[in-house]
Amino acid sequence: MRLWFAVVCCTATLAGCATTSNVAKDDDATAFFPLAVGNRWTYHLSPGPAQPQQVQILKRDERGFYVDDHGGLLSARSDGVFDGRRFLLQEPLVVDHSWSAQQLNQPLEHFRIAATDAVVTVPAGTFSSCIEVRGEQSTPAGAPEGKLLMTWTYARGVGLVRFEQQVQLGSEESQLVSTRYRAPKTTATMELVSFAVQPDPAPTP
């Protein structure tokens, strides 16, 4: 869904999640990102409009992708949740599992599951035993040398509850020592305000 990455370039009953240091209780990615027509999430974006922004799944197309009202796509694959360009969540859902993706003429993106027992508080409430995915990529060509650092937090039975983007620019010495960076600076956040979701009644094989 485009809203999930826009800051980068219902009633559902939450099931309890077992706390673990390295393995999610359920290794099915859709348990942490439920997909069904009608599911909707509302987020507060900062910086962004004062009014919370909603994203809702409108239909499922002939390819099996769920299409939202921002033109975004999501598909439940046998090994994770895919947005047509990259995996948002890729199995196995274990700490340090990593994957990469690269778009045409864009820097390589790296993703890693950093935690399966994260706790996060957002306007929609406090969620425990969440999966935290961290991403990293170089700043685009023409921008100051540095890295974009992203963190997505997913809650069981809910989906994305928080996103944070940070920029970490190279230091003045970075022309000589490329590994030296300044402290990261948060440039954007997205926090869940409300949601109404149900599981997909007929998942894609």
pLDDT classification of 171: cutoffs 50, 70, 90: low
- Cβ-based neighbours of 21, under 8 Å, separated by 6 or more: 95, 116, 117
pLDDT for 147 equals 87
Structural domains of the chain in order of their starting residue, each with its CATH number:
2-7+18-196 (2.40.360)
pTM confidence score: 0.81
C-alpha to C-alpha distances, 49 to 46, 96, 122, nearest whole angstrom:
8, 35, 17
Closest CA to 136 of 180, 162, 170, 101: 101
Report yes or no: 78 and 86 within 8 Å, Cβ to Cβ: no
C-alpha to C-alpha distances, 176 to 170, 171, 172, 202, nearest whole angstrom:
10, 10, 9, 55
Written as six digits, the tokens of 187 are: 């440039």
Question: Each residue of 12-34: pLDDT tens digit?
Answer: 322 233 333 345 545 689 999 99
Question: Each residue of 70-118: pLDDT tens digit?
Answer: 999 999 999 999 999 999 999 999 999 999 998 777 788 999 999 999 9
Judged by DSSP in three states, 43 sits in strand
pLDDT at 38 exceeding the cut of 60:
yes
